[in-house]
Each structure stands twice: as structure tokens, then as C-alpha cells.
Amino acid sequence: MRRGRIPTAALSLTACVAVGACEGDGPALPQRLALDSVFNALDTDADGVLTAADFVEEGRTHRINGEELNAAAARDWYFEQCDADEDGQITRQEFYRCLS
Ligand SMILES: [Ca+2]
Ligand SMILES: [Ca+2]
């Protein structure tokens, strides 16, 4: 007699969320949610990509690796680290990749 089974997909999703190690596209889910909130905060014009236009707010400071950076310095840091194809835009995938 067979016992009821939990579908494998549901089981593995639960397990991987619990340990923060989901396989697949990009970082683990908890980390992805954290990165998403950072990305959304940086994407001030909410067009879904980070461009120089998202870093023009004067007086805004960014905390990166424990350092306070002004908008221009933060822009330079993000583009140096994250704009893998150097097209002047940081997509969500590029952002995940460089900060994971
Ligand atoms: Ca933007
Ligand atoms: Ca890019």
C-alpha cells in the first residue's frame, strides 16, 4: 500500500527556501528578495533598469560595504561592479549576478 506523497517539486521548493539554497536562475530566494528591495530603492524612476539617471538625487547617500557614498560615487561603484556588458544600464540580472 502506497502512502500519500507530497509532490517532489513542492517538497524541494520548501526545502530549498528553508536552507536558502534554491537552484535555478539567480540567487536563493531570501537573498533575491533582499536584492530586489535594494534594486527597487535604487531604481528611482522605476523603469526596471538602473541608469545614470537613477543616481542624480543630490544629497542622497548610499551605504555600500559599510561606506557612505554620495550619489555620484555610488553610481560609479555600481556601474564598475555590475554593468557587465557596459551598455550603461544595469539590469536586474546583472545586479543579482554582481551582488550575489
Ligand atoms: Ca531606472
Ligand atoms: Ca548592462
**Least distant ligand from the CA of 45:** 1
pLDDT for res 58: 72
Give pLDDT, residue 4. 61
Length of the chain: 100
Cα separations in angstroms, 40 against 24, 47, 95: 22, 10, 11
Domains of the chain from N-terminus onward: 26-99 (1.10.238.10)
Evaluate whether 57 touches 71 at the Cβ level (below 8 Å).
yes
CA of 53 to the centre of ligand 1 (A): 7
Q: Tens digit of pLDDT for each residue in 3-40? A: 666 544 444 555 545 445 555 667 788 888 999 999 99
24-34 pLDDT tens trace: 667 788 888 99
Tell me the three state secondary structure of residue 20: coil
- CB burial of residue 36 (10 Å; 0-12, 13-18, 19+): middle
Q: Compute the mean pLDDT over every residue in the chain, rounded to the nearest whole number.
A: 82
Tell me the CA–centroid distance for residue 60 and ligand 2, in Å.
23
Q: What is the pLDDT of residue 28?
A: 83
pLDDT at 6: 52
- What CA–CA distance (Å, rounded) separates 52 from 75? 7
Decide: helix, strand or coil at residue 69. Answer: strand
pLDDT in tens, 29-85: 888 899 999 999 999 999 999 999 999 877 789 999 899 999 999 999 999 999 999
